[in-house]
Amino acid sequence: MKMIDDYKGKRILVLGAGKSGTHAAELLQQLGATVVLNDAKPSDQLPEVVELEDRGIKTITGKQTADILDNHFDLMVKNPGIPYDNEVVARAVSEKMPIITEVELAAQMTDAEIIGVTGSNGKTTTVTMITKILNEERKKGHAYAAGNIGVSATETALKSTADDTIVMELSSFMLLGIKKLHPHVAVLTNIFSNHLDYHKTRKNYVNAKMRITMNQTPDDFFVVNFDSDEWRQLSKRSRAQVVPFARTSEIDRGAYEKNGKLYYNDEFIMNADDIKVPGQQNVENALAAIATAKILGKSNLAITNVLETFTGVRHRVQFVLEADGRKFYNDSKATDIEATQIALEGFDHPIVLLAGGLDRGYTFDKMVPQFKQHVKAAVLFGQTADLLEESLQKASVKNITKVDNLDEAVPAAYHYSDSGDIILLSPANASWDQFKTFEQRGDEFIKDVEKLTHKQEEKQ
């Protein structure tokens, strides 16, 4: 960790607690700043507040109003999920107060090499693949996964050295709050139309994602999915060396699939079918990881050792268990249409789909082709159950039932299934109508499956 003087004697507001806010506040105090942490939740819902207070960090909880800025701060470190129209943030913007997110602070503090990964889908799996590959055959240091993957970037920065690598999963929310973050390799997995309730327009969302490469130079690398003309054009914005990857498009360099085989610059790496995790989306994730690994000098053996054994990330098309010939998969992270489309296309066997969640104001007709080809039955819950039912009916799916909650959905899905079927939770919606997080939704699904089958989840 670098001990810099940039924050010494400064008054800094950390907006939002949680892992990122707590670790940011602790780090800033170590660097000599006077820190105030503010969270809208009451203190009895924030167990970390007591420890911060014991360390001499002032906390203000139970409200989040603009008058907190009357205390005259030099900088705001903002929780990425707090939108810019929040009254505290909006006032800070109007007063031209610098605003950063925790990943920017971590990047300033570490001597480790940074690899950044962003995109609408596949970020976590790609980050995990890259991290595991970088730790294969490693003689010095360690590769750490951090950021949006659920591990505080500042906590990781505190323990990192110049021999280490930090592979950061970077959401669009995080990227809006960077100033100097400079990944040596930046990866763009894909871009769809996500989080428009936050970003307001697709253009804003795309621009936020592209901030991952804004500080790169010709000595750096930008790994980009070339299966979309839009993403190819976006790559031209970067000053870094562009390294493409593609599953369906023909490219003559980078990482690509051809006739079921994966190559890097015409060098055979492995067969696509040998990737342990199912689905074409994971072939794309593997190609992004291969490109990054080859840029960083990793051997083919290191790559295949990981990709032939890695069984997936929790809540991302995660195999749970098999019972009575049925395989249960937890894809609770599928919080948008595209993620569920990709999940459905990843299976060759009939699917009983569990779906539904927060109504964000769109229909599901885009999914009709996948429903028609892959779904034999569907069990729906949450605010969007009726909208999903309409689209499933257009796909001529005959067995559709609506239930009140996920606890009821699992036995209903089993009822419609036969031996050889896939029972898949892939909601195509955010979880916030009935759950606090997609992780909570996925964990509930696993508990319900275990209760139904009297078997335990197969740990990865």
Amino acid at 299: S
Which residues in 226-308 belong to E strands, given as ranges? 241-246, 255-258, 261-264, 267-271
| Residue from 367, 113, 308 nearest 220 by CA | 113
Tokens 């085989």 label which residue?
Answer: 261
Nearest to 52 by CA among 33, 37, 68, 31: 37
Nearest to 198 by CA among 71, 364, 81, 45: 81
Tell me: is residue 71 an annotated ligand-binding position.
no
Written as one letter, the residue type at 382 is G
Is there a binding annotation on residue 110? no
CA distances for 459 relative to 134, 313, 328, 451, angstroms = 23, 11, 13, 16
Query: In terms of DSSP bridges, do strands 11-15 and 143-147 run parallel, antiparallel, or are they unpaired?
Result: unpaired
Cβ proximity of 189 and 122 under 8 Å: yes
Angle at 341 between CA 259 and CA 453, to 5 degrees: 105
19 annotated to bind ligand: no
101 appears as a binding residue in the annotation: no
**Tokens 């906390």 appear where?**
59
Q: How many helices (H) and strands (E) does the chain have?
A: 17, 20
**129: Cβ contacts below 8 Å, ≥ 6 apart:** 285, 286, 288, 289, 306, 307, 310
Structure tokens at 283: 């072939």
120 is in an annotated binding site: yes
Count CA atoms within 13 Å of residue 212 on its CB side: 31
Residues 172, 296: Cα–Cα separation, whole Å? 25
**Cα–Cα distance measured from residue 177 to residue 12, given in angstroms and rounded to the nearest whole number:** 15
Q: Is residue 124 marked as binding?
A: yes
The reply to whether 297 sits in an annotated binding site is no
DSSP string for residues in 189-241: ----S--HHHHSSHHHHHHHHHGGGTT--TTSEEEEE-SSHHHHHHHTT-SSE
Euclidean distance between CA atoms 65 and 5, whole angstroms:
30
Q: Compute the half-sphere exposure of residue 437: CA atoms within 13 Å on the CB side of its CA.
A: 6
Binding site: residue ranges?
A: 119-125
Binding site for ATP: residue ranges?
A: 119-125
